[in-house]
Amino acid sequence: MVASSAVSHTLDVFITAQGLTTPLGNPLNFISGLTENILLGGFTATLSTFVSATNALFGGTALSSATFNSAPASIELNALANTGAGPYSVTAQYHIVSVAGEAGGANSTINIVGAAPTVPGPIAGAGLPG
């Protein structure tokens, strides 16, 4: 996004993967990797992830979000959410705001991974006779 007028501008981009049937979980652990690679001209970028147990486009239950005003920067966030019986959808939202009168740009990355919640297992050697 490039802007150079006397007013600020906002760009919202939504990307949805719809019709997902695996993995399923109640809850399912979603890992959101939010990365700002390049951010120029005083821009800000808010990166967010969502899951929809009803398989909706462009939204759902909020999983994770982070706002960046400099780059490079990265954060990994975990959130538990219900996928329902499937199919379900996941959405990534890029919300980029320019500064009035400044040219700039943003290069942002969102990764969403669903994985079963980790349950502590037995400790190796526990309960073995000496």
- Of 47, 39, 46, 49, nearest to 1 by C-alpha is 39
Q: What is the pLDDT of residue 125?
A: 39
* pLDDT, tens digit (0-9, with 9 covering 90-100), for 38-88: 999 889 999 999 999 999 999 999 999 999 999 999 999 999 999 999 999
CATH topology classification for 10-115: Jelly Rolls (2.60.120)
Confidence tier at 121 by pLDDT (50, 70, 90): very low
Distances (CA, A) of 4 to 43, 87, 108: 12, 43, 20
In this prediction the pTM is 0.82
What is the rounded CA–CA span in Å between residue 121 and residue 26?
Answer: 20
Cβ(64)–Cβ(114) under 8 Å?
Answer: no
